[in-house]
């Protein structure tokens, strides 16, 4: 078990931006355990801590935000309006609330023309389209019988299927998500720029370029691609992969979107009255997109939205501040994983790859099944819907380790750091750094539909790389090596002949 003292050391905030997360995390290693028995629990012993990476970088972000005064986008009227909505105190249906709001205004003998005009726009989902027949609603402002006009309004609105089904809690949740996602991205970009890790961004770009070149060479040698005349197709896919590189544009767009909704909200309030906060939120919701893309994160995250790949702040931080062997194990593996998502897919639900090697898939799934069975903690599963993630782990690790070989050569076996009972080489450091991507003192578990496997399974499956046995001198009958039946070569000259 890991000591409380060591956890306190790990979680202590370092104000220095040159803080080396990977090197600091080595303090949690159980130096009395055998890495060949259970590498994950050797590197990340059970203890009273959750994800080291998420906890540490969350504290770094919090310190960063504390040092900066609140920004305009953190004090928006529209955000306060969303927070003020008491879901249990309003009707469930948006339509019911809108009709009731109109009726109340009518009974208070307040001008309802602007409200009815906005209801017209809401129904038509257009601020410029001219109304026709039953959707011309402003005339109801001239009916002084509020009960009658409200009843007539309700009948007309019920003809709009989308509006009649809209729930207030769903609309408010959409606004909460919109504001949250924009703030997450603005915060991620601010953290990225303000903490001076652009050198790490450049390092990630270099990793991507180098891995694409390696992949290109492997693709040329892959037998199953040759046999199915797929080389050029896969080369084209690989060449399209690029790093998200529009920080300034993303920041400008996020701020524009927030300010646009803020201005529209304030304008709506001015037109209908200060008691119209919820009405204006429901009105604006009808003009908002259903989905918002998020490219920059302040937390541990990464994505492949082909052709773009993007990463969260922690990866750029490590890419700037750690030794190359640490960078490649922590950052390089994740970069390789995201690149691999373009080229590895479950054939039953493929989006980019029309064919794939079933032999390679079987090898990957066999490896994860053996690792799951040997190192199960609370739970782990191996299913077809995990083919993409499991395969991306394997190919990503192969790409990252190839960069390690290219960078260090024979010096990979040189000592990098001396701990109390351990002398860690660059080769070993690669695997320790990889372990800290999913390092947690809690027992690992997954839910049935999770596309990812349990963190300990993902790390221990790295025994699939021949370099693991070499690095730690594991005996063939050790627990780690017993799970490895054969090396899974997906691309390259040793890949399968048939798909």
CATH number for 412: 3.40.390.10
Least confident of 14-23, 78-87, 100-109, 318-327: 14-23
Tell me the residue ranges of DSSP E strands in 388-467.
Answer: 415-418, 423-425
Summarize the confidence of residues 465-483 as an average pLDDT: 98
pLDDT band at 71 (very low <50, low <70, confident <90, very high): low
**CB-CB contact of 45 with 31 (8 Å):** no
Instruction: Give φ, ψ of 450 to 5 degrees.
Output: -65, 125
Please check the confidence at residue 420 and state whether its pLDDT lies above 50.
Answer: yes
Higher pLDDT, 246 or 411: 411
Is 231 within the bounds of a domain?
yes
Kindly report, residue by residue over 149-186, the tens digit of the pLDDT. 999 999 999 988 788 888 999 999 988 888 888 877 88
Indicate the burial class of 67 (C-beta count within 10 angstroms; 0-12, 13-18, 19 or more).
Answer: exposed
* pLDDT at res. 16: 43
Distances (CA, A) of 99 to 23, 115, 146, 288: 62, 10, 11, 22
Last residue of a domain, one of 229, 263, 285: 285
Nearby residues of 326 by Cβ (< 8 Å), 6 or more positions away: 20, 22, 23, 318, 429, 430, 432, 433
Last residue of a domain, one of 259, 285, 311: 285
Nearby residues of 89 by Cβ (< 8 Å), 6 or more positions away: none
* Same-domain status, 256 and 235: no
* CB atoms near residue 3 (< 10 Å): 13
* pLDDT at res. 322: 96
* pLDDT at res. 9: 33
Summarize the confidence of residues 175-199 as an average pLDDT: 81
Q: Name the nearest CA neighbour of 13 among 49, 50, 64.
A: 64
Is 446 within the bounds of a domain?
yes
Q: What's the 3-state SS for 245-281?
A: CCHHHHHHHHHHHHHHHHHHHHHHHHHHCHHHHHHHH
* Same-domain status, 347 and 207: yes
* Same-domain status, 329 and 407: yes
Higher pLDDT, 11 or 315: 315
Mean pLDDT of the chain: 89
Is 275 within the bounds of a domain?
yes
**CB-CB contact of 430 with 331 (8 Å):** no
**CB-CB contact of 461 with 371 (8 Å):** yes
Please check the confidence at residue 65 and state whether its pLDDT lies above 70.
Answer: no
* Same-domain status, 337 and 373: yes
* Same-domain status, 264 and 393: no
* CB atoms near residue 417 (< 10 Å): 17
Kindly report, residue by residue over 265-301, the tens digit of the pLDDT. 999 999 999 899 999 999 999 888 877 677 777 788 8
Please check the confidence at residue 1 and state whether its pLDDT lies above 50.
Answer: no
* Same-domain status, 276 and 302: no
Summarize the confidence of residues 47-76 as an average pLDDT: 74
Is 62 within the bounds of a domain?
no
* Same-domain status, 103 and 201: no
Least confident of 13-22, 95-104, 214-223, 271-280: 13-22
* pLDDT at res. 14: 39
* pLDDT at res. 341: 96
**CB-CB contact of 306 with 196 (8 Å):** no
Distance CA 334, CA 403 (A): 13
**CB-CB contact of 390 with 453 (8 Å):** yes
Least confident of 296-305, 403-412, 471-480: 296-305
Radius of gyration of the chain (CA): 28
Is 5 within the bounds of a domain?
no
* CB atoms near residue 127 (< 10 Å): 12
pLDDT band at 74 (very low <50, low <70, confident <90, very high): low
- Provide the Cα torsion 482, 483, 485, 489; round to 10°: -140
* pLDDT at res. 73: 56
Distance CA 375, CA 458 (A): 10
pLDDT band at 67 (very low <50, low <70, confident <90, very high): low
* Same-domain status, 375 and 276: no
Distance CA 20, CA 323 (A): 9
* Same-domain status, 306 and 357: yes
Alpha helices, H only, 12-45: 21-25, 39-43
73: tokens are: 């986008």
Please check the confidence at residue 5 and state whether its pLDDT lies above 70.
Answer: no
* CB atoms near residue 203 (< 10 Å): 22
Distance CA 13, CA 386 (A): 36
Write the DSSP assignment of 55-116 as a string of letters: HHHHHHHHHHHHTSPPPGGGS-HHHHHHHH--GGGS-SBHHHHHHHHHHHHHHTT---HHHH
Give me the percent of the chain exceeding a pLDDT of 70.
94
Q: Name the nearest CA neighbour of 194 among 35, 53, 66.
A: 66
**CB-CB contact of 302 with 334 (8 Å):** yes
Peptide bond into 307 cis (omega under 30): yes
What range defines the domain where residue 142 resides?
74-179+248-285
386: tokens are: 């995990």
Give me the percent of the chain exceeding a pLDDT of 90.
67
* Same-domain status, 469 and 384: yes
369: tokens are: 């099944």
* Same-domain status, 453 and 477: yes
Is 184 within the bounds of a domain?
no
Report strand pairing: 242-243 vs 308-311. Answer: parallel
* CB atoms near residue 100 (< 10 Å): 16
* Same-domain status, 163 and 212: no
Least confident of 59-68, 136-145, 298-307, 486-495: 59-68
Please check the confidence at residue 328 and state whether its pLDDT lies above 90.
Answer: yes
pLDDT band at 64 (very low <50, low <70, confident <90, very high): low
Distance CA 480, CA 29 (A): 17
Please count the CA atoms within 13 angstroms of the CA of 499 that sit on its side-chain side: 15
- 412 secondary structure, DSSP code: G
Is 402 within the bounds of a domain?
yes
Is 30 within the bounds of a domain?
no
215: tokens are: 């992949």
Last residue of a domain, one of 261, 285, 309: 285
User: What's the total number of domains in the chain?
Assistant: 2
């Amino acid at each position: 078990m890991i000591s409380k003292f060591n956890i306190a050391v790990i979680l202590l905030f370092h104000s220095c931006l040159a803080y080396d997360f990977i090197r600091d995390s080595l303090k949690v290693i159980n130096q009395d355990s055998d890495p060949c028995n259970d590498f994950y629990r050797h590197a990340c012993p059970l203890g009273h801590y959750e994800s080291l990476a998420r906890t540490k970088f969350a504290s770094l972000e919090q310190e960063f935000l504390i040092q900066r005064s609140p920004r305009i986008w953190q004090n928006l009227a529209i955000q306060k309006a969303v927070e003020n909505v008491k879901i249990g105190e309003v009707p469930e249906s948006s339509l019911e609330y809108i009709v009731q709001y109109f009726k109340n205004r009518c009974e208070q003998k307040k001008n309802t023309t602007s409200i009815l005009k906005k209801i017209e726009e809401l129904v038509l989902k257009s601020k410029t389209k001219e109304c026709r027949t039953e959707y011309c609603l402003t005339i109801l402002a001239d009916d002084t019988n509020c009960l009658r006009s409200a009843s007539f309004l309700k009948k007309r609105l019920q003809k709009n299927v989308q509006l009649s089904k809209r729930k207030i809690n769903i609309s408010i949740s959409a606004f909460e998500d919109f504001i949250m996602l924009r703030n997450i991205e603005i915060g991620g970009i601010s953290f990225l720029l303000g903490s001076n890790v652009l050198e790490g961004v450049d390092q990630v770009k270099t990793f991507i370029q180098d891995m694409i070149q390696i992949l290109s060479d492997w693709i040329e040698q892959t037998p199953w691609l040759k046999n199915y005349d797929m080389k050029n197709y896969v080369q084209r896919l690989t060449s399209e992969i690029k790093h998200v590189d529009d920080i300034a544009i993303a920041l400008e767009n996020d701020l524009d979107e927030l300010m646009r909704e803020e201005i529209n909200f304030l304008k709506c309030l001015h037109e209908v009255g200060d008691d119209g906060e919820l009405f204006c939120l429901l009105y604006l919701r009808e003009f908002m997109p259903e989905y918002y893309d998020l490219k920059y994160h302040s937390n541990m995250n990464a994505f492949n939205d082909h052709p773009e790949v993007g990463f969260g702040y922690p990866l750029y931080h490590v890419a700037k501040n750690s030794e190359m062997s640490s960078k490649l194990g922590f950052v390089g593996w994740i970069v390789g994983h995201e690149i691999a998502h373009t080229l590895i897919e479950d054939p039953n639900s493929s989006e980019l790859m029309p064919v794939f090697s079933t032999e390679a898939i079987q090898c990957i799934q066999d490896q994860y099944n053996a690792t799951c069975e040997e190192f199960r903690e609370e739970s782990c599963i191996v299913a077809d819907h995990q083919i993409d993630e499991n395969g991306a782990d394997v190919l990503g690790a192969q790409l990252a380790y190839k960069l390690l070989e290219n960078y260090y050569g024979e010096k990979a076996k040189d000592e990098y750091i001396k701990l109390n009972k351990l002398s860690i080489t660059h080769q070993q450091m690669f695997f320790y750094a990889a372990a800290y991507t999913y390092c947690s003192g809690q027992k690992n578990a997954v839910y049935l539909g999770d596309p990812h496997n349990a963190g300990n399974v993902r790390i221990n499956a790295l025994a699939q790389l021949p370099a693991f046995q070499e690095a730690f001198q594991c005996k063939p009958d050790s627990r780690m090596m017993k799970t490895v039946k054969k090396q899974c070569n997906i691309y390259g000259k040793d890949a399968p002949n048939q798909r």
